[in-house]
Homo-oligomer: A and B are copies of this chain.
Amino acid sequence: MQSNADTIFKEFKEHSISEFFRKNSQMLGYSGKVRSLTTIIHEYVSNSLDACEEAGILPEISVLIREEGDEKYFIKVADNGPGIPAKHVGKAFATILAGTKFHRYLQQRGQQGIGAAGCTMYAQITTGRPIHVRSCTGKESFECDITIDIKTNKPLVTNMAKAECNSSGLEVSGLFGGIKYEESDHGVYEYLKRTVLSNPHLYIRFTPPSGKEVSFPRSIDEMPKRPKEIKPHPLGIGTNDLMEFAHKSESRKLSSFLEESFSRVTANKVNELKQLVREIDLEKDPHDLKWEEAEKLVKAFKEVKWIGPELDALSTIGEKQIEIAMKNILNPKFVSVVERKPKVFKGGIPFVVEAGIAYGGDAGKQLSAKGEDEQHVVEGNIIRSANKVPLLFDASNCAITEAAKSIQWKRYGIANFEEEPVSVFINISSVYIPYSGVGKQAVAQEDEIVEEIKLALMDCGRILQRYISGVRNKELQESRYKMIMRYVNQLSSDLSEITGKDAKEINRQLNLLIEKRYKDIFDAEKGEDAQEKKAVEAEPDSEE
């Protein structure tokens, strides 16, 4: 006899992560033709940048897109990076969740091990073709074709052959379908432009389908400060993390495990902890740590006073560079930029927010025509970026959008944030960006992150407000001055007739009087203005 359950569970199967993302490719960013193309370029370029930076090479990337008819394009991305060893190339391009980044506590653009394998899968399901990879590591040089065995999430490497190279580098190419090249706000051109602006040491050559090559030369000839790989901070550790670290630790004692595995844990701090969790034997083998003990330790972590997380793990764009970038994109009349001090979220994951506000010029305008299938994601005046990677999609779902929209812009001289010529720029840098989706286009709305973005925008807003009120005062004064001066000449000659005195002398005296009076008004207004600004600065808390 079969039960109901037996009948239903006849259909029980296991699926690979590749099968899952093949069915749900929209979750990887493959929805809409323009967006899908941008996703491919974004994955390859981010990987090239990460590899060059890790190898200490000034990145030079070339991107080629050639139309092959019927929503099909040949795409080639080549870099001067370190290349990939033959041994790893299959999995790097054709195993979802394999890579060098997922498990490291290091600021990188990629952090999942999904992107490049996702591209291989997308080529495969839209044109049936493998991707072609050419890699020169300086030790070995080869080329090959790669596909994913979707059922097993394993690579199939074929046509492996020697290649000739002069220097190290990686070149990946393929035929992709279901995509479309368009010069929209969310298109490849905009993506590359914004990538260069956030990465001034990057040189990109881009050949779009028209064949007209465009170069984005580098504006700085040195590598950015290299982010350091760090150990996690005790305040960012949950019970489950602690258990996992302890159980795979090679330390002999719990005490030495704590010192070796976490940032800021010294012998002194271990002693402090010892006082807080007397019932736990810190000399025991970390493999014997129990959940209840780990829970107590995590609680004790929160009672100890720690030095903050190591911050040289973070690599920002820099205030100067953001200013250049915003001027370059928006041609504004005024820019204010702020880099905040590093903060932590979820207790101990360090992050930094950089913010800029541009006013006037092209700020606040749609930068270019909308993509045909992307009308729902355009947020013209909020330019988002995470770990120096531009975020072009899913704006409405992002901590940055939420923070920017929650600011009381009137306080900063902006009566209507959506309508006025104002644009904001935000970059978040962290060893772990909590993206809200696998496609990594929006940052999850973690309270600490939203709060910090708001504070950054308020910092910029205060500087902007001074500029705007200055401009408005000046305009007001100028119009008053002009109004008065219209009457002075007439008045001088009238007074001259009545009094018999010299018209020129009267005119001169009147001018002096007006100038003096004018100065008094100006000074008085400046005083009021300063008081007002002080009030704004004193009560930012009320916005929180």
Contacts and interface: CB of A to CB of B under 8 A. Distances in A.
B3 A373 contact: no
A291 B126 CA distance: 10
Contacts of A127: 291
A38 B92 CA distance: 37
| Best-surrounded residue of A4, A17, A27 (most CB of chain B within 10 A) | A4
A291 B72 CA distance: 15
A88 B240 contact: no
A8 interface: yes
Nearest to A238: B125
A113 to B, nearest CB: 6
A85 B446 contact: no
Contacts of A46: none
A228 to B, nearest CB: 15
A23 B102 contact: yes
A127 B437 CA distance: 25
Interface stretch (A266-274, A383-391, A394-402, A477-485): A394-402
Nearest to A106: B11
Interface residues of A, number: 82
B100 A26 contact: no
A434 B397 contact: no
A6 B124 contact: no
Nearest to A101: B11
A436 B243 contact: no
Given A55-B4, A139-B3, A402-B376, A99 B31 contact: no
Contact of A437 (B128, B168, B295, B436): B436
Contacts of A309: none
Report how many copies the assembly holds. 2
A498 interface: no
A368 interface: no
A436 B442 CA distance: 12
Nearest to A397: B397
A24 B102 CA distance: 11
Contacts of A11: 100, 103-104
A8 B51 contact: yes
B168 A3 contact: yes
Contacts of A294: 128
A175 B104 CA distance: 30
Interface string A60-85: 00000000000000000000001111
Contacts of A31: 434, 436, 444-446
A57 B8 CA distance: 13
Contact of A97 (B8, B14, B373): B14
Contacts of A55: 4-5, 8
A139 B23 CA distance: 35
Contacts of A19: 97, 102
A306 interface: no
A493 interface: no
Contacts of A397: 394, 396-397
A55 B8 CA distance: 8
A6 B240 contact: no
A285 B229 CA distance: 55
Contact of A9 (B5, B85, B102): B85
A135 B5 CA distance: 10
A468 interface: no
A450 B375 CA distance: 12
Contacts of A125: 238, 240
A211 interface: no
Interface string A275-298: 000000000000000010011000
A202 B26 CA distance: 32
Interface string A82-94: 1111011001100
A98 interface: yes
Given A12-B98, A126-B238, A394-B397, 17 more contacts: A3-B140, A5-B84, A5-B138, A8-B55, A9-B85, A11-B103, A12-B88, A12-B99, A13-B103, A15-B97, A15-B98, A16-B97, A17-B20, A31-B446, A126-B239, A128-B294, A397-B397
Q: Lowest 10 CB-CB distances: which A-B pairs, in order? A: A128-B291, A4-B82, A5-B137, A396-B396, A125-B240, A4-B55, A3-B137, A3-B139, A11-B100, A5-B82
17 contacts: A4-B55, A4-B57, A4-B82, A4-B137, A5-B55, A5-B83, A9-B84, A9-B100, A11-B100, A12-B99, A13-B103, A19-B102, A20-B97, A24-B112, A127-B291, A396-B397, A437-B438
